[in-house]
Each structure stands twice: as C-alpha cells, then as structure tokens.
Chain A
Amino acid sequence: MSRIIVVTSGKGGVGKTTTTSNLGAALAKHNRSVALIDADFGLRNLDLLLGLEERVVYTAIDVLAGECRLAQALVKDKRLKGLVLLPAAQNRNKESVQPEQMKKIATALAKGYDYILIDCPAGIELGFRNAISAAEEALIVTTPEVAAVRDADRVIGLLEAEGVNKISLIVNRVKPLMVEENKMMSVEDVLELLGVPLIGVVPDDEKVIVATNRGEPLVLGDIESVPAKAYSNIARRLEGEKVPFLDLMANQGNILSRLRRMFGG
C-alpha cells in the first residue's frame, strides 16, 4: 500500500523542499519507489535541489491539460533507482490548479509508487489546499524560531480540520550550542508547544547548503555526515523502524564550550 505524504510548514524558508528531496532520496536508497510532486507552482525548486532541472520536459500542468501522459512528465533520477519527480509549472501561478486536480494526479501516482511525497508551497492559501488535498499524512517542518513554530501550529490546526490526522514533526536547523546557552529553543520546547509526535531532528549544517549547491541529496554523498544520517533516520522511522534520535551535542563546539560542558554538566 502506498502512502501519500505532504511536506508542509506554513512559513517559507524553513526547509520543506530540502526535506522533501532528501527524504525522497533516502527512501529510494532504502529500495522504495518514490514519486516526488512539486506543488509549488510558479516557484518550483524541487527539480533544482535534486539536480534534475535540466531534464524537465513536461510539468503537472501539461498532464492536466492532456498534453502528455503522466508517465511522460515524470523525471527519473538516474542516480537512484525508483526515484521520480513530477515538476511544477514555472510559468503559471498557484491558482492554475485546483485541489481536485492535484488529488487526481497524486492518487494516479499512488498506484505505481510506495511513497508519494508532496512538496507544499509556503502559505495557507490555494497552493496549500492543493498540496494537502490528496495527503493522508503530513510532515511538518519547522525551525526553533518563533515565527516558524507559530505558523507550524496554525498549519497543524488546518490539517486536523481537513482530516489529516497522522502528523509528524521535523525540527530543522537546530543549533545545539545555542540551545545549550539558552539562546535557542530546544527540540523539547518545540515539541511541548506543538504537541505532535517527533519524527526527526536535523542540525543546522553547512553540508546541507553544499549539497543543495551541487543538486545532490545528502544521502548520495557522505552518508556518515550528521545531516545525512538525520535524513536517513527519518526515512527509517517512516518505514516503521525505531531509531534513536541523534546526539547533536557530540563533537560540537570549541575547546571552551567543551570545558564549559564538563563543568556545567
């Protein structure tokens, strides 16, 4: 049975697209067939993060207009067997698609793939409603910042109202040193505020930016790096495995902060 999961956040720039591309790649690496849908019409970027931008020929709009078959619009990732992308149209806006149409596409893809991951646009307007129309589950991406957490809470409320009740939380861009110095909310703080189960913690790491520069999901590079492990672990948890959360404090900081930890406990 396939699962249709929307990746959403409310606020923009918290890492929805990065999360979608890395989870897609991680699941494909676990020998799952995965279709990624870019639901951000007019501002598509999932193709770019996956390094597939030059191979986009058709988009979801072309499929809906009957100008091509669904299978023709799918861009296959040559590095990962089983991973495909359905690109969003770049020359249209979010109003050019309706929730019913998105639902049709997602359910059609669900027949051929284990996972359908939908990359939701920022906001809570039509683009959001399109993206969640077919979803049975949701991954909420947030960062430990006030605006991101507030928007995440709003989106959780909207999803619950729409009957999407299987909601898990990914806390992105955590800076363990700042948390330790009480300059940033901890993962526990965010969890307590939002009240939905945690499925992943991703540290703020330069490697994430380097990977997006290259258009190469982290799990394709150094799989021992902390962020690559973080995404791989989320994929395993989606698969039902019980994986302990990473200790982000390990090997963090300079000699001074380590000394401080030794004394301060």
Chain B
Amino acid sequence: MLNMIKRFLEMLFPWNNNANSRSHAKSRLQLIIAHDRASINPDIMEAMRKEILDVVARYVEVDREEMKFSLSNDQRMTSLTANLPIRQVKRIGDPKKQLKEDSSLDLPKIEIVELDREANANANAQSK
C-alpha cells in the first residue's frame, strides 16, 4: 500500500526523482562536442598543459592536485579553460627582469632567485 502511494506521488511529481537524464545528456555532450571541435589529440593536450603550467609556475605556486584544464564551447566558439588554484604568490623582485633572464623554462632558476631574494632581505635587515 505504501509503495502504491509512493508510486502515485512519483507520477504526480516526477521532479522529485533525482534521475534527471536530460541534464546528464547535455553536460556529457558539452564536453564531448568541445573535444570533437578542438580535435586536439591527448598527447598535444598534455604537452600544452605542461607548458602552460610551467609558465604559470614561474610566478605563482599552483596546487597541482586541484588544477583543472577543460575545453568548453559557447555558440560555436571553443575555449580552453585552465583553473589553477594558487597556493602562494612567489614574490619575485622585478618581473620584467625576471622574464629576460628566464626565457627558458628552467624551474630551478626561480628557486635561485628566491634564495637571492631572501639573501637580499637578509642584507636589507642587516643594513638596517
């Protein structure tokens, strides 16, 4: 009897069911269509992801576990969205100078710069 009432209620108020296959279909399609349109193969996508990350990592410390790269589209325009949660902004002295010196993607250099900064800070403290 309870079951019957439940079924009747479900028939009357179908939105109570959490099975919303309509939005499921739509979100799946959004993803797959974006990939179809971009037609970037996974290797290239991975290489691009790595390079973007390396560039960003020169300036900020990115949470590599939480970051997300995704393709999406809107009105026949496909876009790449990178969501990179920042843990910490690296306080690099002069960004322009930094760019010149660091034209390669050599990460250890940044650490050197940071060490330099610390040394500078120490030097400053000392000078005071």
Name A's B-contacting residues (CB within 8 A): 145-146, 149-150, 153-154, 156-157, 179, 181-186, 189, 192-193, 195-196, 256, 259-260, 264
Contact = CB atoms under 8 A, between A and B. Distances in A.
24 contacts: A145-B25, A146-B28, A146-B29, A150-B36, A154-B36, A157-B36, A181-B14, A182-B15, A182-B20, A184-B22, A189-B25, A189-B26, A193-B29, A193-B30, A195-B73, A195-B74, A195-B75, A195-B76, A196-B76, A259-B12, A260-B12, A260-B13, A264-B13, A264-B15
Contacts of B36: 150, 153-154, 157
A186 B12 CA distance: 21
B21 A183 contact: yes
B22 A185 contact: yes
B12 A153 contact: no
Contacts of B30: 193
B26 A153 contact: no
Contacts of B109: none
A182 B23 contact: yes
Contacts of B26: 185, 189, 192-193
The main secondary structure of chain B at its interface with chain A is helix
Contacts of A256: 11-12
A182 B20 CA distance: 6
Interface of B: 11-15, 20-23, 25-26, 28-30, 32-33, 36-37, 73-76
A181 B103 CA distance: 56
A192 B15 CA distance: 23
Contact of A149 (B13, B29, B73, B76): B29
B76 A182 contact: no
A179 B22 contact: yes
8 residue pairs, one from A and one from B, having the closest CB atoms: A195-B76, A182-B22, A195-B75, A182-B20, A181-B14, A153-B33, A189-B26, A146-B25
A34 B30 CA distance: 37
Given A195-B76, A264-B15, A182 B29 contact: no
Contacts of A146: 25, 28-29
A195 B25 CA distance: 17
A195 B29 CA distance: 13
User: In the complex, which of the residues B20, B25, B28, B76 has the most CB atoms of chain A within 10 Å of its own CB atom?
Assistant: B25
Contacts of A154: 36
Nearest to B32: A150
Contact of B37 (A153, A189, A196): A153
Contacts of B76: 156, 195-196
User: In the complex, which of the residues B13, B20, B33, B36 has the most CB atoms of chain A within 10 Å of its own CB atom?
Assistant: B33
A256 B12 CA distance: 7
A193 B12 contact: no
B55 to A, nearest CB: 30
Contacts of B25: 145-146, 184-185, 189
Contacts of A184: 21-22, 25
B33 A150 contact: yes
Nearest to A186: B22
Given A181-B14, A256-B12, A193 B33 contact: yes
A199 B126 CA distance: 76
A150 B30 CA distance: 9
Nearest to B77: A195
B16 to A, nearest CB: 11
B73 to A, nearest CB: 8
Given A150-B33, A193-B33, A196-B76, A183 B22 contact: yes
